Chain A
Amino acid sequence: DTGVSQNPRHKITKRGQNVTFRCDPISEHNRLYWYRQTLGQGPEFLTYFQNEAQLEKSRLLSDRFSAERPKGSFSTLEIQRTEQGDSAMYLCASSLGRGGNRSGEKLFFGSGTQLSVL
């Protein structure tokens, strides 16, 4: 068990540039989540995958944000035309996903990608 892996750990970009982050969940975990966290706040839900299907997107996720999980394994989160307000820690998490939609399965988080938009 190598845990949830995210890269890069840090990304500094200029406003208007596109950035892409990658998440490798724990193998055999069917569910994958993206969260965003700013200083002094808890993680905010962005989107969720069950295998390769993206089942929900938060209203926080503007049209500039897109996430994919093409083969039901790793996932990418792309932000187009970045803005300073996008600066945050982007966390990925995964869970087994075998308990049905109403299970209390715990989420395992990666260390996150810290994005700074200048």
Chain B
Amino acid sequence: GQNIDQPTEMTATEGAIVQINCTYQTSGFNGLFWYQQHAGEAPTFLSYNVLDGLEEKGRFSSFLSRSKGYSYLLLKELQMKDSASYLCAHINDYKLSFGAGTTVTVRA
């Protein structure tokens, strides 16, 4: 995705914690989304940050720093079903622009 950088792949063990970083550059900014996408399926909404700070939702948390153009998604107590691609996206007006996604593989 244009001006959105996130690692291509990450591997972690079941029960562990993984942090997926995302940096972005954009002229207009109305928020930062994280989506989860299993292979062959639709992306599904995980989180939305518009103000700086940490948003916690169960095992998943998302952080935003607007001044640094930086966000991360934190996945705790990893489960096998968390193996998927995680997409960082910023919204400018009405349009969501996505990064290439980070493929997370959870090993037993």
Contacts and interface: CB of A to CB of B under 8 A. Distances in A.
A109 to B, nearest CB: 4
B22 to A, nearest CB: 11
A73 B38 CA distance: 27
Interface residues of B, number: 25
Nearest to B1: A42
Interface residues of A, number: 26
Q: Is the interface of A mostly helix, strand, loop or mixed?
A: loop
Interface string A93-117: 0000100011110111111100000
Contacts, number: 60
Interface in B59-108: 87, 89, 91, 93-101
Interface in A38-54: 40-45, 48, 50
Interface of A: 4, 31, 33, 40-45, 48, 50, 55-56, 91, 97, 101-104, 106-112
Interface of B: 1, 4, 30-31, 33, 35, 41-45, 48, 50, 87, 89, 91, 93-101
